[in-house]
Amino acid sequence: MSEQALKPIEIGLTAAIVAMEDSEPLILTASGQDDGKLTGLPFGPFDAVAHRTFEIGLRAWVEEQTGLRLGYVEQLYTFGDRGRHAQAADTDAHVVSIGYLALTRKVAESATPAPRASFEPWYRFFPWEDWRQARPDIIERHILPELTAWAGQSEQPETARALARKDRVKLYFGTEGANWDEERVLDRYELLYEAGLVEEARRDGRPAALARPALPPLGVAMRFDHRRILATAIARLRAKLKYRPVVFELMPGEFTLTDLQRTVEAISGRHLHKQNFRRLVESGALVEPTGVMSTQTGGRPAALFRFRREVLQERPAPGLRVRGRR
């Protein structure tokens, strides 16, 4: 058996930890010891001797790197592509990373982060995903012209897919009358990577990126394949909003309906019609009034609500099936 066949495999654990602050979704990032400038997600190797399960190992690494003790945790996906750590001719162990999504209610309630850790707005990494105010200008100005030119090129037989490039651009970015699907976060990022439009593609030596001049950065790049892992986490959270009450993991114990709407909008990246949203919440019986009014709204006092936990026993998919106006 060749030496290449005996190359060891190391299991890594990577966490996408989401919090909300001032109606903005944040992601916990940690700069590496070897490169303090390039940010990434908290990660570390799984120690089969010290950690009985992957999740226990993940919690230990996150606390060590960030000072944060995790609450809600959900396994996302296993990321094991060859070359995923972007090191040419690497002879070290091949790292397979198990990604996790974790939610924390409030940044202020978290433990003091370690020196290299901080919460960052997740739209810094995916500026084309924030449609709360309008269709992001970056799509028309920078993304679609480059994607259109790339899609017009001949596809290599070995890279041909069921959907042609033009069809994927239309489907993923909502062009030519197609709807924007907020859950296709990963599809959009991987299309940009394949077209060589994100910094990670150039760093990884992808032919499409090397064949063109360097472009203005499309969002902030991350270490290794951590932006791909983050895209997976955002897509999962946006999808789960519709069939699980996960949004309440990010809410305080008591909140106004406006607070709840802004949180849902921040996660989904979509503007929601106020009255339609309130009818949806009421018909779903997800919340109940506390009988207390909030005076912290800056205007008229607003009723405070709390999550009605009984809904978990009443139906199998108690989520918010929201739809954006655009």
- pLDDT at res. 1: 44
Determine the angle formed by the axes of helices 185-194 and 165-173, rounding to 10 degrees. 140
- pLDDT at res. 318: 79
pLDDT-flagged residues of the chain (< 70): 1-7, 32-37, 82-91, 106-115, 156-160, 297-298, 323-326
Q: What is the DSSP letter of 179?
A: P
- pLDDT at res. 135: 95
Q: Quick one: which of 221, 215, 228 has its CA closest to 142?
A: 215
Q: Quick one: which of 126, 117, 169, 122 has its CA closest to 148?
A: 169
Q: Are strands 9-21 and 24-31 parallel, antiparallel or unpaired?
A: antiparallel
Domain ranges (residues) in the chain: 7-124, 131-219, 245-314
Domain boundaries 245-314, corresponding CATH code: 1.10.10.10
Contact 287, 295 (CB under 8 A): no
Backbone φ and ψ for 127, nearest 5 degrees, come out as -65, -20
- The model carries a pTM of 0.89
- pLDDT at res. 91: 66
Q: Report d(CA 173, CA 180) in Å as an integer.
A: 6
Superfamily (CATH H level) for 7-124:
Nucleoside Triphosphate Pyrophosphohydrolase (3.90.79.10)
**SS3 category, 170:** helix
- pLDDT at res. 159: 60
